[in-house]
Amino acid sequence: MERLSKFRKGLNLTQNEMAEKLGVSRATYQSYENGRNQPNIETLIKMAEFFGVSVDTLIGHDANIVDLQTVSKNQKYIIEKVVNVLTDEEVGEIVGHIKTFKH
């Protein structure tokens, strides 16, 4: 699951820190990132909740991913405050509207 690395790095976490948060070994978590092993559904849900995304987004069924390393601290703060009160569907609609302004 190649997106795991982007999400983890976007939060400035090491593989070891992420593994601890999930209650798995670093080697197990690394195997998830490398695609050698797939997490069970409970772990997928735990990761999705931790990153604040849907399981679909986590496994790549949503092409709209933001590289958090390119977002300023102020933007992250604002995004976090807004996104925490919205559903995944509402966030998707907002992202769609924002994309229309970029063109």
**Domains in the chain, CATH or no CATH each:** 1-69 (1.10.260.40), 71-103 (no CATH)
pLDDT of residue 99 exceeding 70: no
Beta-carbon neighbour count of residue 30 at 10 Å?
Answer: 18
- Distance, in Å, from the CA atom of 46 to the CA atom of 50, rounded to the nearest integer, reads 6
Answering whether pTM is above 0.85, one says: no
Beta-carbon neighbour count of residue 95 at 10 Å?
Answer: 13
Q: What is the pLDDT of residue 101?
A: 63
- The CA distances from residue 47 to 10, 21, 75, 99, 102, in Å, are 14, 9, 23, 26, 30
pLDDT tens readout for residues 17-55: 999 999 999 999 999 999 999 999 999 999 988 888 888
Q: Which residue has the higher pLDDT, 56 or 95?
A: 56
Say if residues 56 and 45 touch (Cβ distance below 8 Å).
no
